[in-house]
Amino acid sequence: MTIYLDYAATTPIRPEVLECYVENLKTLGNPSSVHSAGQKVRRALEEAREELASSVNCDRNEVIFTAGGTESNNLAIKGLFWKQRDSDSKKNLIISAGTEHHAVIDPIEWLEQHEGAEVIWLKVNSDGALDFQELETLLELRSQEVALISLMWANNETGIITDIKKVTELASNYSIPVHSDAVAAFGHIETSFKNSGLTAMSISAHKVGGPVGVGALIVARSAKLVSLTHGGGQERGLRAGTMNAPAAKAFALAASKAIEELHAESARLQALRDSLISKVQASAPNAKLTGGASFRMPHNAHFIFEGCSGDSLLFLLDQQGIEVSTGSACQAGVNGPSHVLVAMGRSIPEAYGCIRVTLGSDSTEDDVNAFVNAIPKAIEGALKAGIVNTGAN
């Protein structure tokens, strides 16, 4: 029997969402067509936009449907940067943090390499929390040069939550736009766009029981962005191309279900997560929990196993039918330490020896116990293998 404990990578599609998706796939029509078939699909698309807006707590016109979190991040970061610099050539500075997902880090580095952007990566402490004093001082000194700030709402690897409201309050003193990758947070903790003060926020369907391949960028009505794609005026002129109404409908339904169940499910998963943490620490003395337990996602437990390779642990657990990860699924198979842990000041061996356990809708105490029972054998094997590559010459 397989125990799936990698819900941060992707979640099972909800049965009712799958049914909704399939039914809408059967409907013929391009939502931009003016005939009856097209307008029927257009109505479905706009219903989805309205429903998703309700879940996000934003205006319906602020919902821009995309293919997922990575596209949303690229559109927000590049689009805001180009628009800001076009309006004022001095605005060439991007502020972010080294613990971000690569879907944020990579487009920022692309702008640095190809568009001459200057980038400042904010420091985080050993728990992964931002140095807000550094941000405040930086804004006081260089606010006229800042094009945008991009900081994730919750870290996809460690589960550490950032006080996004505090970020936007500091930025608002200088009218600096703030984008947040909320893919790991949306549907699991409160993420009201209206109350956040954000200019843009990225979310994705497959993290909340929806299909892969659809997401959204929530963009404040007052915000101006340069589009990445050209060829039509769809999605407020920000995303050209035929809109995917079936996927939008499925996403909207999955999001509404996740928000409806958020408080009860978060409490259930936090209790399971706390049980898992205490049992792992009791059975594995070399296990170190990363981050602070008080400001992490309720379904996330992230450990460093001293002397072990995370890849070895993953393989050995998988042999016992336990599916976890070492971090972002997007980086799976990449031979290197966790960039998140390195940014947190952890040693290279520690950054190679991490495991992320994330719980979800089907998780039970039996699953937790299965993981706890499997971990000693996996640790024994991983310790024998050692950390093959520490990054040292």
Strands 93-97, 118-122: pairing is: parallel
Mean pLDDT of 134-152: 98
DSSP codes joined into one string, 219-286: E-TT-----S--SS-TGGGTS-S---HHHHHHHHHHHHHHHHHHHHHHHHHHHHHHHHHHHHHHH-TT
pTM of this structure: 0.95
Question: What share of the chain has pLDDT > 70, as a percent?
Answer: 95
387 pLDDT band (50/70/90 cuts)?
low
pLDDT of residue 261: 98
The pLDDT tens digits of the residues spanning 286-344 come to 999 998 656 899 999 999 999 999 999 999 999 999 999 986 545 445 567 999 999 99
Q: Tell me how far CA of residue 140 lies from CA of 67, 95, 177, 180, 197, in angstroms.
A: 37, 13, 15, 21, 19
Q: Would you call 330 a catalytic residue per the annotation? A: yes
Q: Is the pLDDT of residue 391 over 70?
A: no
The pLDDT tens digits of the residues spanning 83-131 come to 999 999 999 999 999 999 999 999 999 999 999 999 999 999 999 999 9
Quick check: 318 and 3 in contact, CB under 8 A?
no
Residue for token digits 């209790």?
271
The pLDDT tens digits of the residues spanning 224-235 come to 999 999 998 899
DSSP codes joined into one string, 192-214: -HHHHT-SEEEEEGGGTT--TT-
The pLDDT tens digits of the residues spanning 163-208 come to 999 999 999 999 999 999 999 999 999 999 999 999 999 999 999 9
pLDDT of residue 334: 57
Q: Is the pLDDT of residue 392 over 50?
A: no
pLDDT of residue 1: 82
pLDDT of residue 335: 62
The pLDDT tens digits of the residues spanning 256-296 come to 999 999 999 999 999 999 999 999 999 998 999 998 656 89
CB atoms within 10 A of CB 364: 12
The pLDDT tens digits of the residues spanning 16-62 come to 999 999 999 999 999 999 999 999 999 999 999 999 999 999 999 99
393 pLDDT band (50/70/90 cuts)?
very low
Among residues 20, 308, 330, 354, the one annotated as catalytic is 330
CA angle 176, 179, 184 (to 5 degrees): 155
Name all domains of the chain by residue range, CATH numbers in brackets. 3-10+262-385 (3.90.1150.10), 15-257 (3.40.640.10)
d(C-alpha 74, C-alpha 100), whole Å: 13
Handedness of CA 359, 361, 366, 370 (dihedral sign): negative
Number of residues in the chain = 393
